[in-house]
């Protein structure tokens, strides 16, 4: 397995149910609405742009290739071949498994740029190629393709819509000589949906150099409805175990129900103020999995919960610890000895640059790879599609969504290069 640092050497990178409102959006509280038959932007783009065929072909190929986290090899190989055929220097950066990340299969990021070598790219354009399970086949509405034509399939929104749009956008900028070879690098990573191990591997490969590379800006592709995000909530990802005393259900006072302890704790946490901010609203709490006990007539000895808190407070490096402390205090109030809390990942609220003319602004509640890449670069968060259909059975977006995103990425890349 090739090390991350070896690839960087190849690149030649040198010095460089609560009563609280769950979200107070930056502007219109209806800015994110569930998509029904697609989520067309303001202009339908019914007159086909010249890039439509290539954009739709690339998007179809990407969505058609299954790439659930841990099994991204096939889509990565496709991208290397696709980009190489279009004159890019495309390299694989192999990613070793980390705690909580998939293992057992060869996995790699794809790094691509124009020119023989890239000394110090000014701008990195990045998104992820992995998706959540299960794989859902690609589908497009029948009939003549227009801007309103809907496309479905796993990853069509999150985040292969971003991947396809940013590749076509950068390619068009090169065709028109709007950017110079070596100024912009594509970074397409694995593992974002689970632990961010792909982006962290890329960051580690830079930090391990005597003179780390420094970028002016990084543009992160995620579904923002083609609005420019001013940031997103942080996250606290934890496992919680309650331990009680088993016994006969007819004599509950002789035992100690782990399920009851867990239920009481969860209600108190859901009703608690876990922190808020003007930009991101309230910290929210999701009980993703609750299991415990062995039978209805047995006092349960153990109960387990997996939860995620979406952290509305900062700073980015430690805001999650504020929420964790509040959770721990509540657990102690319920029972000082019964609970064991283990949190694998966490970070506070994340801000990004949204001061660019021509874009509507938004804040989002989901996590991204932004906190997994350290540095003092300017950060932008943008991409096609509606997050409210991502990860669902009807993940979809329209042709116009993709086309508008190409224009948006072009504007962001040019803007970032001029700063």
Active site residues: 192
Collapse the DSSP code of 251 into the 3-class scheme (helix H, G, I; strand E, B; otherwise coil) and give the result.
coil
Contact status, residue 161 vs residue 222, Cβ threshold 8 Å: no
- Residue 268 Cα to chain centre, angstroms: 29
Contact status, residue 107 vs residue 198, Cβ threshold 8 Å: yes
- Residue 331 Cα to chain centre, angstroms: 30
Ramachandran angles phi, psi of 42, nearest 5°: -60, -40
Helix 399-418 × helix 52-64 angle, to 10°:
100
Q: Which tokens in the block code for residue 334?
A: 């319920």
Ramachandran angles phi, psi of 204, nearest 5°: -65, -35
Closest CA to 190 of 135, 136, 126, 236: 126
Q: Which tokens in the block code for residue 326?
A: 């509040």
Helix (H) or strand (E) holding 230: strand 228-232
Separation CA 265–CA 297 (nearest Å): 22
For residue 85, CA distances in Å to 88, 90, 171, 212, 288 come to 7, 10, 12, 30, 43
Contact status, residue 230 vs residue 363, Cβ threshold 8 Å: yes
Task: Determine how β-strand 217-221 pairs with β-strand 378-382.
Answer: parallel
Contact status, residue 274 vs residue 327, Cβ threshold 8 Å: yes
Closest CA to 285 of 261, 258, 306: 306
Separation CA 181–CA 165 (nearest Å): 19
Instruction: Give 291's strand partners.
Output: 304
Closest CA to 380 of 402, 357, 355, 401: 355
Q: Which tokens in the block code for residue 287?
A: 């009980």
């Amino acid at each position: 397995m090739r090390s991350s640092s070896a690839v960087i050497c190849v690149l030649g990178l040198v010095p460089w149910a609560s009563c609280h409102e769950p979200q107070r959006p930056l502007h219109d509280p209806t800015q994110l609405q569930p998509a029904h038959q697609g989520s067309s932007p303001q202009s339908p783009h019914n007159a086909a742009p010249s890039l439509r065929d290539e954009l739709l072909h690339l998007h179809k190929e990407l969505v058609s290739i299954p790439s659930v986290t841990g099994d991204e090899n096939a889509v990565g190989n496709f991208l290397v071949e696709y980009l190489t055929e279009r004159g890019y220097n495309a390299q694989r950066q192999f990613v070793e498994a980390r705690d909580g990340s998939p293992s057992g299969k060869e996995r790699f990021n794809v790094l691509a740029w124009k020119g023989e070598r890239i000394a110090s790219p000014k701008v990195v354009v990045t998104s992820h190629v992995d998706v959540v399970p299960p794989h859902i086949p690609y589908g497009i509405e029948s009939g003549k393709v227009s801007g309103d034509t809907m496309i479905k399939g796993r990853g069509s929104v999150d985040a292969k819509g971003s991947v396809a749009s940013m590749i076509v956008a950068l390619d068009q900028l090169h065709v028109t000589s709007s950017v110079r070879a070596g100024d912009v690098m594509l970074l397409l990573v694995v593992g974002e949906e689970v632990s961010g191990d792909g982006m962290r591997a890329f960051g580690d490969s830079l930090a391990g150099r005597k003179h780390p590379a420094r970028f002016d800006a990084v543009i992160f592709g995620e579904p923002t409805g083609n609005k420019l995000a001013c940031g997103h909530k942080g996250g606290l990802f934890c496992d919680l175990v309650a331990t009680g005393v088993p016994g006969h259900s007819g004599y509950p006072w002789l035992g100690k129900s782990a399920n009851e302890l867990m239920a009481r704790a969860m209600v108190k946490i859901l009703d608690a103020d876990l922190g808020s901010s003007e930009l991101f609203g309230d910290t929210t709490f999701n009980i993703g999995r609750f299991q415990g006990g062995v039978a209805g007539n047995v006092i349960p000895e153990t109960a387990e919960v997996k939860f995620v808190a979406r952290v509305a407070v900062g700073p980015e490096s430690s805001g999650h610890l504020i929420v964790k402390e509040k959770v721990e205090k509540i657990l102690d109030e319920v029972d000082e000895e019964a609970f064991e809390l283990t949190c694998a990942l966490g970070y506070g609220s994340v801000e990004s640059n949204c001061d660019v003319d021509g874009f509507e602004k938004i804040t989002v509640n989901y996590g991204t790879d932004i906190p997994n890449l350290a540095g003092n670069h300017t950060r932008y968060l943008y991409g096609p599609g509606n997050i409210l259909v991502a990860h669902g059975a009807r993940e979809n977006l329209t042709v116009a969504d993709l086309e508008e995103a190409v224009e948006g990425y072009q504007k962001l890349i040019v803007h970032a290069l001029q700063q």
